[in-house]
């Protein structure tokens, strides 16, 4: 086999065999295929795409390029949740304890912030003492005892995806359905869960800007799961505005705790209950409707909050964060405000720019090696459809001395459009696949 022939075959729109895909992927991982040939191969896929079988094969090959986690030491059916990435997306911090409080094991490997989106691991690390790397034994023990553990991904989880993703990032080949779907699902399959709930974000802050392409991605991921004999449900959710009230690490933990105490943003709570209910349903507990009620009750009666406390203590975090989050979490007391320049209605938000503004404050990283500042972030006072008066605060920026606050303000100014006409508020749940 020659890389040249395989690239040519895909460039001409032909279907690749599993062996051909494996030759390219593993050859690249081993260093036998150079960047320029892999880049050409990715570009050929970008234009000619992959069919369902090719996608399933690519996913399996990438998953098996590293460790395949065996979760059989954890009792019960394991359901994982994945978000395709958004701004202010702290859902795992609420969904995981809700689901665990219903007796369903949540054995979660989460990622860090990259690009304009945040990562659960960085958020959890804003809790003093919290350990996001546990040994595999500790991980299994915690899930069996408390039904919940959340850790960072091991270095050897789908290493082919890691190497290829970096190349895609540099060669304008990220936003292709097969490549995104196989990238995400390879890590999910390697993570070892039995079933998956996929939160596919749609809109200005998501990879998929419109509902049709999001549906295509959702369907591709569900099909990949099915072809590996795993169940999956995809929930398409709105990312045309930031999720909830805060973006930024400590601030999002604060919001998650407030939500678990019953004081959550309405749409954020709706999303958390929907995702929790699907996880509970896939775990085989009951019908979707009954699972939704169970999730609602867990939140309402404080069971999920208790579970979150257990989880924080089990992973070494300061338990006082539950009673006094604002004292325990590092939250900057320095702030500036982004205010409305005229009267009207918020008619559009470029959410990706909002995420980038948050990064300029120091909440995210441009490169993997960058440090993040847990204390900074954004508080959202107005969403799409809200009325604003000139001079009213739209966003509060929690800043530190290293924040590029002026750039963040400029980005917010570009991101928020105020118009004279009344604009409809957005629904959070758009579709289910």
Catalytic residue list? 82, 161, 168, 183, 187
Size of residue set near ligand URA by CB under 6 A: 9
Phi, psi of 418 (to 5 degrees): -110, 130
CA-CA distance, 397 to 408, in Å (whole number)?
Answer: 9
Q: Which among 62-70, 102-110, 147-155, 173-181 is the span making contact with ligand URA, rule CB under 6 A?
A: 173-181
**Cβ proximity to ligand URA, 197 vs 394, nearer residue:** 197
Does residue 315 bind ligand URA (CB under 6 A)? no
CA-CA distance, 350 to 205, in Å (whole number)?
Answer: 7
Q: CB 119: neighbour CB atoms within 10 A?
A: 22
Q: Which among 34-42, 180-188, 229-237, 422-430 is the span making contact with ligand URA, rule CB under 6 A?
A: 180-188
**Cβ proximity to ligand URA, 85 vs 362, nearer residue:** 85
Q: CB 354: neighbour CB atoms within 10 A?
A: 26
CA-CA distance, 100 to 97, in Å (whole number)?
Answer: 5
Radius of gyration of the chain (CA): 22
CA-CA distance, 317 to 320, in Å (whole number)?
Answer: 9
Maximum C-alpha span of the chain: 66
Task: State the nearest-atom distance from the C-beta of 174 to ligand URA, in Å.
Answer: 6
Residue from 95, 184, 358, 409 that binds ligand URA (CB under 6 A)?
A: 184
Task: State the nearest-atom distance from the C-beta of 395 to ligand URA, in Å.
Answer: 26
Does residue 100 bind ligand URA (CB under 6 A)? no
Site string for ligand URA, 189-218 (x = CB under 6 A): ------------------x-----------
Task: State the nearest-atom distance from the C-beta of 164 to ligand URA, in Å.
Answer: 9
Task: State the nearest-atom distance from the C-beta of 279 to ligand URA, in Å.
Answer: 20
Sign of CA dihedral 145, 273, 230, 189: negative
Q: Which among 178-186, 258-266, 289-297, 325-333 is the span making contact with ligand URA, rule CB under 6 A?
A: 178-186
Does residue 180 bind ligand URA (CB under 6 A)? yes
**Cβ proximity to ligand URA, 182 vs 303, nearer residue:** 182
22-81 positions binding ligand URA, by CB under 6 A: none
Task: Report DSSP letters for 374-432, one per residue.
Answer: TT-EEEE---TT-EE-TT-EEEEEE--TT--HHHHHHHHHHHEEEESS--PPPPSEEEE
Task: State the nearest-atom distance from the C-beta of 114 to ligand URA, in Å.
Answer: 9
Direct distance between the N- and C-terminal alpha carbons of the chain, in angstroms, rounded to an integer: 38
Tally: H helices and E strands in the chain: 18, 13
Residue from 183, 204, 274, 315 that binds ligand URA (CB under 6 A)?
A: 183
Task: State the nearest-atom distance from the C-beta of 83 to ligand URA, in Å.
Answer: 9
Nearest partner of 162 among 67, 242, 238, judged by Cα: 67
Residues that bind ligand URA (CB under 6 A): 84-85, 165, 174, 179-180, 183-184, 207
């Amino acid at each position: 086999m020659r890389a040249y022939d395989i690239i040519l075959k895909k460039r001409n729109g032909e279907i690749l065999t599993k062996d051909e895909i494996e030759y390219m992927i593993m050859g690249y991982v081993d260093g036998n295929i150079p960047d320029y040939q892999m880049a050409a191969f990715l570009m050929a896929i970008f234009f000619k795409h992959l069919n369902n079988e090719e996608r399933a094969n690519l996913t399996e090959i990438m998953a098996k390029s590293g460790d395949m986690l065996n979760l059989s030491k954890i009792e019960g059916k394991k359901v994982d949740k994945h978000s395709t990435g958004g701004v202010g997306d702290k859902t795992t911090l609420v969904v995981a304890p809700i689901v665990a409080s219903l007796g369903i094991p949540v054995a979660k490997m989460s990622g860090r912030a990259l690009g304009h989106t945040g990562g659960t691991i960085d958020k959890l690390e804003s809790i003093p003492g919290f350990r996001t790397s546990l040994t595999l034994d500790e991980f299994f023990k915690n899930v069996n005892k408390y039904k919940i553990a959340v850790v960072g991904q091991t270095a050897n989880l789908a290493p082919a995806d890691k190497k290829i993703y970096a190349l895609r990032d540099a060669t304008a080949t990220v936003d292709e359905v097969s490549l995104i779907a196989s990238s995400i699902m390879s890590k999910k399959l390697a993570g070892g869960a039995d079933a998956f709930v996929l939160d596919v974000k749609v809109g200005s802050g998501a990879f998929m800007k419109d509902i049709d392409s999001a549906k295509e991605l959702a369907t591709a991921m569900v099909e990949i799961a099915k072809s590996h004999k795993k169940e999956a449900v995809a929930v398409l959710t709105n990312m045309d505005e930031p999720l909830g009230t805060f973006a930024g690490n400590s601030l999002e933990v604060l919001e998650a705790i407030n939500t678990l105490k019953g004081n959550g943003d309405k749409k954020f709570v709706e999303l958390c209950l929907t995702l929790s209910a699907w996880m509970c349903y896939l775990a085989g507990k009951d019908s979707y409707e009954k699972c939704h009620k169970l999730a609602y009750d867990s939140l309402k009666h404080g069971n999920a909050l208790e579970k979150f406390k257990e989880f924080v203590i089990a992973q070494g975090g300061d338990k006082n964060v539950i009673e006094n989050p604002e004292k325990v979490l590092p939250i900057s007391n320095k702030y500036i405000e982004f205010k409305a320049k005229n009267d009207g209605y918020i008619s559009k938000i470029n959410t990706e720019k909002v995420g980038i503004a948050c990064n300029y404050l120091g909440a995210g990283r441009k490169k993997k090696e960058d440090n993040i500042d847990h204390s900074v972030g954004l508080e959202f006072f107005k969403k799409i459809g809200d009325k604003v008066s000139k001079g009213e605060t739209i966003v509060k920026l929690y800043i530190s001395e290293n924040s590029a606050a002026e750039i963040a303000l400029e980005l917010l100014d570009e991101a928020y459009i105020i118009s004279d006409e009344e604009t409809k508020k957005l629904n959070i749940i758009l579709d289910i696949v």
